[in-house]
Amino acid sequence: MTRSLLIALGADHGGVALKNRLAKVLVEAGHQLMDFGTDSTESVDYPDFAHAVCGAVVEKRADFGLLVCGTGIGMSIAANRNPAIRCALVHDVTTARLTRAHNDANVLALGARITGEEVALDILNTFLATPFEGGRHERRLAKINPETQP
């Protein structure tokens, strides 16, 4: 198990069921949550939830963010509009591990209509347990948003 983390969660109507399932598992594992919603299957606009979660991560009120929509695509696009966010849309454990190790991703996006619940749980656990390797990857990350570098 990873150390206890504070994780910001957000989902639209297409991702609410998977978000709630993952939230339950995260709490059982000893993590704390900031749940920005939605809590319903009524149609909502995914950027609202992506921006709220990313705000918590950027302001360091949360260690990581988790976004869930139908495909994960819309959430990841909205999240990555923030230059301080590195949101990865992940479909398997290998890319979950590599996006943390090589890209220092701070937000994970999942597609509830694309990724099964058990795979999503494995992805989430791998994402949270994998440290950033640093080294040569730091140089590459600095080139993503050079205007934000010292």
**Is the per-residue pLDDT at 101 higher than 50?**
yes
pLDDT tens for 63-82 read 999 999 999 999 999 999 99
d(C-alpha 39, C-alpha 20), whole Å: 8
* Averaged pLDDT score across all residues of the chain: 94
Q: State the catalytic residue, choosing from 31, 51, 91, 102.
A: 102
* Domain residue spans of the chain: 6-148
- As to burial, measured by CB atoms within 10 angstroms (0-12 exposed, 13-18 middle, 19+ buried), residue 34 is middle
pLDDT at residue 1, rounded to an integer = 44
pLDDT at residue 121, rounded to an integer = 97
pLDDT at residue 139, rounded to an integer = 81
pLDDT tens for 107-136 read 999 999 999 999 999 999 999 999 998 888
**Is the per-residue pLDDT at 149 higher than 60?**
no
- Is residue 13 part of the annotated active site? The answer reads no
Which residues does 5 contact at the CB level (< 8 Å), separation at least 6?
31, 32, 63, 64, 128
Q: Looking at the structure, give the CATH architecture of the domain made up of residues 6-148.
A: 3-Layer(aba) Sandwich (3.40)
d(C-alpha 142, C-alpha 104), whole Å: 11
d(C-alpha 141, C-alpha 8), whole Å: 23
Neighbours of 97 (CB within 10 A): 16
pLDDT at residue 143, rounded to an integer = 82
pTM as predicted: 0.94
